[in-house]
Structure 1
Amino acid sequence: MDEKPSHPLTAARESLGLDRVQFAERIQAAARRRGLRSGVTNTRVRKWEVDGVTPDGLSQEYIAEALGVDAPGPASAPWPYWLPGAGGRVRPPGGVVELGPTTTVPALREALQATMDHSRRVVVSAISTTALLALAGAWANAGPQPPAVVEPVAPPVSGDDDLLTSLEQATNLFTSQPTEARQHTAHVLEALLTSVSNLLEEGRHRGEARTRLLSLAAKLAGEVGWHRFDSGRHPEAARYWIGGLHSANALGDSDLGAGILSDLAYQASWRNRPELAADILRRALTRTRHPAAQSLLQLRLARALAVHGDRRATLRALNAAEHLLGAPCADPVPGWCGWLSSADLAVDTGQALLDLGDTRRAHTLIGEGQSLLPTARDKTRGVFLAYQAKSHLELGEPDLAAAAATESFELAQRIGAPRCVKLVRDLVPAFESFPTAQGVPELLARTAS
């Protein structure tokens, strides 16, 4: 056997009782009706169905007419996902691509399309709560998935390994830049993700090569998602993270999938939707395996529960996070949560306690965490300083709060972190109650500009 499992075009063609010769004749007839000529033969149809060749735009119009369906337009899913039964037709606003064995490319395409829409000043639809919970539930109920390793159906193309190695090297280079430089690399990462998506869509990479592409897709989608999140472009961020989730699902990496779901939950908490965040995290935790990954998810769960005011559940999650951090495990810590440290545990614990009203203890922990944070993590330092400013305000120490907020604001502007800038600006109403305190007038003037 030299043919792949049934392609959506094969299924659509055979549902009409057509063999490849008859289908090619229909395509030729569609061209003649336009006064044109098509050179499509049964050999070309086979290349579309078996070899993963993508027909050009005009041929796709002929294919749609031959199948008796609407021709794919600008709002359609990419080939072959617009075909009948392929599961890739456009969803209503707020919907998402459902998890499945061939859904990685459509999910990545939706993310890239969202960025394109934004650049054209088209409003990008936010993802609905229902769709997010359904996606998290489907992932949780899917159970362990084996890595998607398929034997090659054809010899590898010369130079493929060099190309994949170059993509990996470029990805590692641009995702390991200092925080201050990352504000300038988002377009490069997006271009790399487009290239990886194109290679996945071709469908000719199998086995280890496909695994490498899926790993790149998950990493790049996650990185671009965080850039969009930091810039306040939340619908786009969610689309990229969902593309990463599909990639992780195809890889069979449950910890990576759980981590991406936790990013979506973090976004929900940030947008004052703590109940949604907690619901997503509970589903994600059902398949999280590594102690470090569990610790991060428990810490984020505690933050969501604290905002919701559930003291007992918050303390339980904080205790679990502390216990799991650094717990022995034979497997290495997943790269996506390798940054988690005692500094993060202390500050996020302090922020949760601050939300619960334990101001003095919270302030102590936030200060301890701030002192433990490595100097390389500037963006996190900016966030921590904003938390520290908030705790000083609640203790009635506006001068110290102004000093921390000013440092956070200046750092955020230098490294290009709009999210940190927003954190400080959100504190302005509280600072306005102390108009003559040391440093406050200057801070108010800075944040107003």
Structure 2
Amino acid sequence: MTVGGAADKQPNAQLNSWFVRSGWSKGELARQVNRRARQLGAHHVSTDTSRVRRWLDGEQPREPIPRILSELFSERFGCVVPVEDLGLRPAHQPPAGGDVDLPWAGPQTVEMISEFSRSDLMLGRRGFLGASLALSAGPALIEPMQRWLVPTSPSGAGGAGGSAAGPGPGHPGTRPSRLSEQELELLESTTVMFRQWDNQCGGGLRRKAVVGQLHEVTDLLQESHPEAVGRRLYRVTADLAALAGWMSYDVGLQPTAQKYMVLALHAAKEAGDRPLGAFILSSMSRQMIHLDRPEDALELIHLAQYGSRDTATATTQAMLYALEARAYANMGQVNKCHRAVRAAEDTFTDTRPGEDPSWISFFNEAELHAENAHSYRDLAYVAGRSPAYASLAHPVMEKAVEGFRGDTVHQRAFALNLVGLASVHLLEREPEAAAECTRQAMAVATRIRSERVNTRIRKTTRTAVRDFGDLPAVVELGELISRELPEVAETA
């Protein structure tokens, strides 16, 4: 049985509202709940259409059903949908910070990354959430992340964050490091290669390879190493965990993505690498913008800026300003958005690529144009489809598209900016041009594996069909997307 008490029940208006807007049938929702429950190991859950009907009528399901419904609706709508917003009662209230409020200590960080990556590899299924994983937002997310700035206690085992030079969990610390300089360099270069694959092919193709490499590195961290070697291993761990999080985000696994990025920030602190930590926070900020949480995104960016103000290169600082502009745009803060855009442009003039770490190499001039163009585009949406902001976005978005055209490495960025340009054309009521840009994006999307790209293509096409559905070019585009990129029942 998966049912709670049914006394004094009334129709659940909140759950009904989300359910109707989802477009799912009762049978489809039941199938998705069962599939997700199996992925969580909750094999006792067996839901059918009559059970879903009773939930809608006010029956309170037991865990893990409320959490599963929260995740399914969050993924469907691209925003955080808490259990409470569904009119459901969780079995217990999680502690403040939930899945992101973790101990800031080296051995625990290694153990948590090892266990999480191992579970990911073992389950190996779409929608992996872990035993009790849920998205965190608001103070539950921001407050634990602020502890990234707290100095590490000197009473630890030594090294980066009190453990990099000391023994790993369960090791006496008497064995010398068995890693040579050549092996360390190979680990670092492999991470760079994985990032290139992600940019070129999307997160869906190599995600498990990255998770596997991450798990192997945590095994190395459980041995004794000199402090310098320990710091480098933690840096590799942070880079791989951040990439695993980014790839998970790209394929639509939002809770998994957040957990990896939080763990990556912990590892970056152990490495003593503030700029890498700022970069990880910027990735978390992008996720919050995607989930329509611009206030959270802004808090994360300000935390990144404060924590790396004296150590980050000009390229990293410019990237942070550009994301600050995105957050302000989504909040409708016009003047602050413009100031942040100008700061990004001015700071980027001081960039020296030779001094940049590998993880920021994606932020070239085309990417700068892309971020700023999306800020103007987002302002247009917030301002009620304002043609003035759309006209600001148009030339900058074109620069981004042309900057990525012919770039064989940053294929996903090319596709995303083609879709971005299509959305600007729609704002300017130019449906034929929008359809052409979307077709070009579709051609790229078929060569990569990125649910983020696919989702944006579908969303832009739906807007075109809604607003200009009688035009032949739009009709043909809608048919193409329905045939080649149909909606999926479960986010991959």
Q: Normalising by the residue count of structure 1, what TM-score does the alignment of the two structures yield?
A: 0.72
Instruction: Give 3-state SS (helix, strand or coil) of 2:205's partner.
Output: coil
Match of 1:98 in 2: 103
2:214 is matched with which residue?
193
Does the C-alpha gap of structure 1 residues 206 and 162 become closer, same or farther in structure 2, counting only changes over 3 Å? same
SS in 1 for 2:447: helix
Residues in 2 aligned to 1:443 and 1:157: alpha-carbon distance in whole angstroms:
58
Identity of aligned residues (%): 25
Equivalence map 1:318-357=2 (5 Å): 318-327=341-350, 332-357=355-380
Separation of aligned partners in 1, 2:231 and 2:251: 30
The unaligned stretches of length 5 or more in structure 1 are 1-89
Q: Which deviations, in whole Å up to 9, do the C-alpha atoms of 1:175-223 show, x marking residues without a partner? A: 43371386432222211111111121x2312323212311221121122
Matched, 1:370 2:370: no
Distance in 1, matches of 2:101 and 2:435, equals 42
Q: Work out whether 1:274 is the aligned partner of 2:313.
A: no
Cα distance in 2 for partners of 1:398, 1:164 equals 52
Q: Whose radius of gyration is greater, 1 or 2?
A: 1
Aligned pair 1:406/2:427, yes or no?
Answer: no
Matched residue of 1:213: which SS?
Answer: helix
Partner of 1:72: none
Query: Whole-Å Cα distance in 2 between the matches of residues 175 and 237 of structure 1?
Result: 16
Contact 1:231 1:418 in 2 (8 A): yes
| CA–CA distance in structure 2, aligned partners of residues 218 and 228 of structure 1 | 15
Contact 2:192/2:358 (<8 A) preserved: no
What is residue 113 of structure 2 aligned with on the other side? Answer: 108
Look up the SS of the partner of 2:103 in the other structure.
Answer: coil
Q: What's the counterpart of residue 179 of structure 1?
A: 200
- Structure 1 residue corresponding to 2:392, chosen from 361, 369, 390: 361
* CA contact 1:114–1:239 (8 Å) conserved in 2: no
**Bigger shift: 438-447 or 391-400?**
438-447
- Give the secondary-structure state (helix, strand or coil) at the position aligned to 1:327: coil
Per the alignment, do residues 144 and 389 of structure 1 end up closer, same or farther by CA in structure 2, a change over 3 Å counting? farther
Deviations 1:323-351 (A, max 9, x none): 11131679811222122122122222122
Q: 1:68-95 deviations in whole A, cap 9, x for unaligned? A: xxxxxxxxxxxxxxxxxxxxxx998544
2:129 and 2:255 in contact (8 A); partners too = no
**Cα distance in 2 for residues equivalent to 1:443 and 1:328:** 40
Residue 243 (structure 1) aligned to one of 246, 263, 268: 263
CA contact (8 A) 1:343 1:369 kept: yes
1:283 has 2:306 as partner: no
Correspondence 1:119 to 2:152: no
Say whether 1:394 aligns with 2:427.
yes
- Rounded Cα–Cα distance in structure 1 between residues aligned with 2:124 and 2:228: 35
Partner of 1:220 in structure 2? 240
Distance in 1, Cα, partners of 2:191 & 2:274: 22
Cα displacement (A) at 1:122: 6.3
Q: In terms of mean alpha carbon deviation, does 358-367 or 178-187 score higher?
A: 178-187
Aligned twin of 1:86: none
Q: Distance in 1 between matches of 2:258 and 2:175?
A: 37
Contact 2:377–2:393 (Cα < 8 Å) also in 1: yes
* Residue in structure 2 matched with residue 443 of structure 1 by the alignment: 477
Residues 196 and 213 in structure 1, CA contact (< 8 A), matched pair in contact too: yes
Q: Give the aligned CA root-mean-square deviation in angstroms.
A: 3.0
2:128 and 2:374 map into 1 onto residues whose CA distance is: 36
| Residues 170 and 299 (structure 1), Cα distance of their counterparts in 2 relative to 1, 3 Å cut | closer
- Whether the aligned pair in 2 keeps the contact of 1:97 and 1:107 (CA below 8 Å) is no
8 Å CA contact retained: 1:147, 1:253:
no
For residues 352 and 183 of structure 2, what CA distance do their matches in structure 1 show?
A: 34
Structure 1 window deviating more from structure 2 (273-282 vs 163-172): it is 163-172
Q: How far is 1:309 from its partner?
A: 0.2
Q: Taking structure 1 as reference, are residues 274 and 118 closer, same or farther at Cα in structure 2, changes over 3 Å only? A: farther
- 1:391 maps to a residue whose letter is V
